[in-house]
Chains A and B, each alone.
Chain A
């Protein structure tokens, strides 16, 4: 399968713990995005990378959230000191930048539950 993969698929944690999610994009894609989705809502943009550079971060991304994309390949999203409000589906997407509007390929998501 050459699509976007995310691990783990589900994560249950206690409030105050740190969690880390991984995203492996489609190999030739140079852009990688993180979104968060809660029930009944569309995905909300969190941050994106072009190669290894983090080019934009949403105001939604508090200082408890950090994302990395070392070497421009896989990416990790870490949430420190989790809160119940962090419970959501975290989606990763990748795309190949070109002059047209870039379609994004999404992974299956990581569902986070904070107890």
Chain B
């Protein structure tokens, strides 16, 4: 069966450290993978998109890697800040369909 797995346990890290979140998938062949941020009571906000032929993408303090052999994406936030505290969702987009299939999300808590 198809699955997208993100660590359901909250990730607690100290301000200034690098947060690394994992997204693993099975039985998908996504053309693209996206990461979204979601704050409580709000809709998801797009952060980064990475294509299947790209290994890494960066945007400011954010970095995403995509390994289609391992079927895994890693999402890094460097120099984390308390304002980065939120739930982070990975989503797969296959080339033949427009919909996104989301993981359950990982809650990140950055403390002082």
Contact = CB atoms under 8 A, between A and B. Distances in A.
Interface string A1-37: 0001000000000000000000000000001010000
Interface residues of B, number: 26
B91 interface: yes
Contacts of B51: 100-101
B49 A103 contact: yes
B34 A106 contact: no
A48 B89 contact: no
A109 B45 CA distance: 12
Nearest to B93: A101
Contacts of B46: 103-105
B43 A106 contact: yes
A91 B43 contact: yes
- Which among B43, B46, B103 has the highest number of chain A CB atoms within 10 Å? B43
Given A97-B98, A101-B32, A103-B34, A42 B42 contact: no
Interface residues of A, number: 29
A91 B41 CA distance: 11
A62 interface: no
A56 B102 contact: no
B31 interface: yes
B81 interface: no
B102 A44 contact: yes
Best-buried of A41, A93, A104, A109 by chain B (most CB within 10 Å): A104
A93 B45 CA distance: 10
Nearest to A45: B99
Nearest 5 A/B pairs, CB to CB? A42-B102, A101-B32, A106-B43, A45-B99, A103-B46
5 contacts: A40-B104, A103-B46, A106-B36, A106-B44, A108-B41
